[in-house]
A and B are shown apart, each in its own frame.
Chain A
Amino acid sequence: MSAAIVEARGVHKYFGGLHVLKGVDLAVRERELVFVIGPSGSGKSTLLRCLNRLEEPSDGSITVDGIDMLDRRTDINKARQRIGMVFQSFNLYPHMTALGNVALALRRVQGMSRAAAEARARQALERVHLADRAGHYPGQLSGGQQQRVAIARAIALEPRVMLFDEPTSALDPELVGGVLQAMRELRESGMTMVVVSHEMGFARAAADRVVFMDGGRIVEEGPPEAIFGNPQQERTRAFIGQIERH
């Protein structure tokens, strides 16, 4: 087994008086796909956002690719390039083309020339099968295509791990497949991934491990067959039962 590339220990997060994460431990090995499920408000998004310090954890430690994410001396902008993130709402920049969206950080953060950045951006768009949409603005793309551009924007920086927060939840059902396909191909290329999602079929097929969160804690984790087929905890069973009925 290779060493953990993401390691969160005893992570707590308070929003004012609200205790949202109550001591979460999560280790993700290289090339592993960890799938996170749990009821609304259980802290899944907050956990992901703590991993790249979009939220400041109140306590605990987080290392990603050997970098202490919570150390004040860590150059957070440099560290974040190793952690790609994909949001439910895509968050593409509407005033830039697909190519511009992908190339922005390559130019401004990695300091590439325009030509080099655009060449790399084109490669990233090819990986999500959208090379022919490079010149389109987000408003001219379907939701599924927008989300794939968002994936390209993240992978263009060659991150060591990718975080997905409900990447298909905002999509019409017929557009979900294309995004899951892009994620599957990313996984096959060896990317380490943490995915928050309700796509149980994808979890069964692609996840190495499923983590069930409730009330700010990890209640149970294990291989997909075990979590979906034979959950040990009452709360997990109730949650799985609930989503299977849908």
Chain B
Amino acid sequence: MSFDDFLQAFFSLEILQQAWPILWAGLLNTLLLSVVVVPLGFLGGLILALLGTVHSRWVRWPLIAWVDLFRSLPPLVLLVFVYAGLPFAGLEVTALTAVAIGFFLNTGAYYGEILRAGIESVPRGQVEAARCTGLTAAQAMAHVVLPQAVRNVLPDLISNTLEVVKLTSIASVVALPELLFQARQAQSVTYNATPIMAAAVIYFILLWPVVRLLSRLENRQMAGRR
């Protein structure tokens, strides 16, 4: 195989031009999914982490069971379960809703564990100082604990967010044509790997700034610990 053949098979401008509308549609879906799924997962995690501060076994045990369950179920299985299962319960859901619910459950459990660790990293004296000045428990959480908790686990939150964005590619199993799915479609139509390479480059362009930010934060935390 000559170098030209190689270029033709993986980096063909002509193919790229042909495939671009398909890829573009996929990219828009991937962006839409990320914008829906990341905040939802974070919200789910916040709810779980806040419930985790309640000292009652009536909250604690169900919470542990919930988090364990949704961290053990493979996201793909969970997604199929939601999409195919809810109609049996009389609830027709669109593909996007199914993805949103699935990610809320799965991603929420992960964000929840990260935020819980963050909350636990804030010294007890912080809450005591706040309560002493008359803040309610909820105010102390909102103004004193959570800002510090989020800052303390920011690298983990960003890491998880990267994983979540990559994981949106499983949305194609419920017929939501995101970027990777569209690229494979284009590949099978053109018999050429260029669309897949293009998808890889797009993912890289999307995520690389976040990866850079993450390493900078990690370096700063390392420096802070020294």
Contacts and interface: CB of A to CB of B under 8 A. Distances in A.
A91 B125 contact: yes
B133 A104 contact: yes
Interface of A: 52, 54, 77-78, 80-81, 83-85, 87, 89, 91-95, 104-105, 108-110, 150, 153-154, 157
Given A87-B125, A89-B125, A108-B143, A94 B148 contact: yes
A147 to B, nearest CB: 12
Query: B interface, how many residues as a size bin?
Result: 10 to 19
Given A83-B132, A87-B129, 19 more contacts: A54-B132, A78-B134, A81-B134, A84-B132, A89-B123, A91-B126, A91-B129, A93-B126, A95-B151, A104-B130, A104-B133, A104-B135, A105-B133, A105-B134, A108-B139, A109-B134, A150-B129, A154-B132, A157-B133
A93 B133 contact: no
Contacts, number: 63
A78 B133 CA distance: 9
A166 B192 CA distance: 74
B39 interface: no
B132 A77 contact: no
Contacts of B139: 108-109
Nearest to A156: B133
A93 B142 CA distance: 13
Contacts of A105: 130, 133-135
B128 interface: yes
Nearest to B144: A93
Contacts of A54: 128, 131-132
Nearest to A77: B134
A91 B128 contact: yes
Given A95-B147, A95-B148, A153 B133 contact: yes
